[in-house]
Chain A
Amino acid sequence: MIQAFAFYLFATLMIVSGAVTILARNPVHSVLWLILAFFNAAGLMVLAGAEFIAMLLIIVYVGAVAVLFLFVVMMLDIDFAELRAGFIRNAPLGVILAVVLFVELFVGILVRSAGDMAIGTAGAATAVPAGLSNTAAIGALLYTRYLFVFEAAGFILLVAMIGAIVLTHRQRSGVRGQNIAKQIARRPEEATINLQPEVGKGVSL
């Protein structure tokens, strides 16, 4: 009973917040609704017994990705009139995309109800061993059966990161950076000199 109630609560809230994400005029509001959608998705994951995935969803998407979205979107200087003009120009493209997505979804559901091809069904995957928490189960699977795929994914991300740094990094001249090790290594003897110049002579350093 309570599970069904929670499921419909999360699912409804998720669909509503997803819809409002698209409909909201203000991009900042959109991002905040998107975060609510992520939250409800995490709630659904918990209901499905995948608490590890749920927590990762919140940590990665809500905690990092959405913060970056918000960071960028907050700095936009929004011109609503221009936004609406763009809407009318891009509307045909949007409608075509929507139709394609809808047809795919429809066909997918149709095929699924017609009978299975045993792809991606629960039978194809290994069942969670009894007595293992789902964090341990996922870890065991990732580090044994899918080790090379997992490593390759990590490697691709590393390459992407290095690529992003190489593309955006530029050496600027005339910047005086702070070298903390050098500052700490400095001793009074090197930094100060004690002179007693004659009156009116001045000092050259």
Chain B
Amino acid sequence: MTPFFQGLGLPYEWAWTISTICGILLIALPVMLSVAMVIYVDRKVWAAMALRRGPNVVGPFGLLQSFADGLKVFLQETIIPAAANKGLFLIGPIVTFTVALLAWAVIPFNSGAILANINVGLLYILAISSLGVYGIVIAGWSSNSKYPFFSAMRASAQMISYEVSIGFILICVVLWAGSFNLNDIVKAQHGHGFGFINGFWCNPLLFPMWVMFLISSMAETQRAPFDLTEAESELVAGYQTEYSSMAFALFWLGEYGNVLMMCALNATLFWGGYLPPLEIPVLYLIPGWIWLILKIAFGFFVFSWVKATVPRYRYDQLMRLGWKIFLPVSLLFVFLVSGYLMATGHFA
């Protein structure tokens, strides 16, 4: 966009600043809007799977339900517990919300349509997602209350555990694509399967990685069946117990923002990002960002499908899955993938 603003007669610095701000708004506003819609979709999917109707009163088909909920929490009183650590208590939800939006900067929405086309895009996403835990830990500690504190402990252990295997899975993808840049990773998936299928998922060495990535991303975003940090049968509502009104809403927005982010990452790394799923010229008539959104929507459907059908893990089972199964298997696949690439002279 910078050349466009330069064309209006602005010097480079100003054009860059304005186009970056426009880019941020172009990403952040649709993401926030889609978070509202995705909460509605989530509730509709659970309802359909439980043979209920779900939200159907506010607006046509209940489409405006999330906005009504948003208005409700906005009008509520913000309650800060007397024993809480006030500053940190308010910083917690802000961190969660901000971090959920930050990672979108490096997602390519179309060939070249990327806010920050940096060399270390994937590492940036890892770095940002490792920050996500702080919002929860700060919230849990500063609430100065038992159950939020347990929740914070669980969250930090859980996120560290699954980050390790996510790191190894991403390394497999990076090895194959030969770059940390997400745009290059998407391009590397062009015609990956028989020159016809766009996406790493059709690769027999990377397909198991995709399955593990899907499961790990559920654990990383604390979605069911790994929602132990807010297990209502054990911890009331976990780290959100003491929160009300907008602070609580920020947690919700952040949580769903993270889920969407993980779906976007899934689409970008394994399903060909903005490329159409099959290499047919007609499919290129549909713009890339629509393909990306469709893939994200599919990923999100899988997330809510799992939430509606799979019972919650016990904590020791969660740790066992992370450390005893995912870590060794993903490590093995790093060896297999790099061995295969060396043997076939992929980068020679």
Contacts and interface: CB of A to CB of B under 8 A. Distances in A.
Interface of A: 2, 28-29, 32, 35, 51-52, 55-56, 58-59, 62-64, 67-68, 70-71, 74, 133-135, 178, 180
Contacts of B163: 63-64
B153 interface: yes
| Interface bin, chain B | 20 to 34
Nearest to B91: A32
B118 A59 contact: no
Interface of B: 13, 88, 118-120, 123-124, 126-127, 130-131, 133-134, 137-138, 141, 149, 152-153, 156-157, 159-160, 163, 180, 316-317, 320
Contact of A2 (B13, B120, B316): B13
A135 B180 contact: yes
Given A64-B160, A67-B137, A67-B160, A51 B118 contact: yes
Given A51-B120, A55-B120, A71 B127 contact: no
22 contacts: A28-B88, A29-B88, A32-B88, A35-B134, A51-B118, A52-B123, A55-B127, A56-B123, A63-B127, A63-B133, A63-B163, A67-B130, A67-B133, A67-B159, A68-B160, A70-B134, A70-B137, A71-B157, A74-B141, A133-B119, A135-B180, A178-B317
A65 to B, nearest CB: 10
Given A2-B13, A55-B126, A71 B153 contact: yes
Contacts of A32: 88, 138
B119 A51 contact: yes
Contacts of A35: 134
Say whether chain B's binding surface is mostly helix, strand, loop, or mixed: helix
B130 A74 contact: no
B231 to A, nearest CB: 19
A94 B317 CA distance: 46
Contact of A135 (B119, B156, B159): B119
A36 to B, nearest CB: 11
Contact of B156 (A59, A67, A134): A67
Given A55-B123, A74-B137, 15 more contacts: A28-B88, A29-B88, A32-B138, A52-B120, A55-B120, A55-B127, A58-B130, A58-B131, A62-B131, A63-B126, A63-B127, A67-B156, A70-B137, A178-B316, A180-B320
B300 to A, nearest CB: 25
A59 B130 contact: yes
Contacts of B120: 51-52, 55, 135
Closest 7 pairs (CB-CB, A-B)? A63-B130, A55-B123, A58-B127, A133-B119, A55-B120, A59-B127, A51-B120
Contacts of A64: 130, 160, 163
Contacts of B88: 28-29, 32
Contacts of A70: 134, 137, 156
Given A55-B123, A58-B130, A63-B127, A71 B317 contact: no
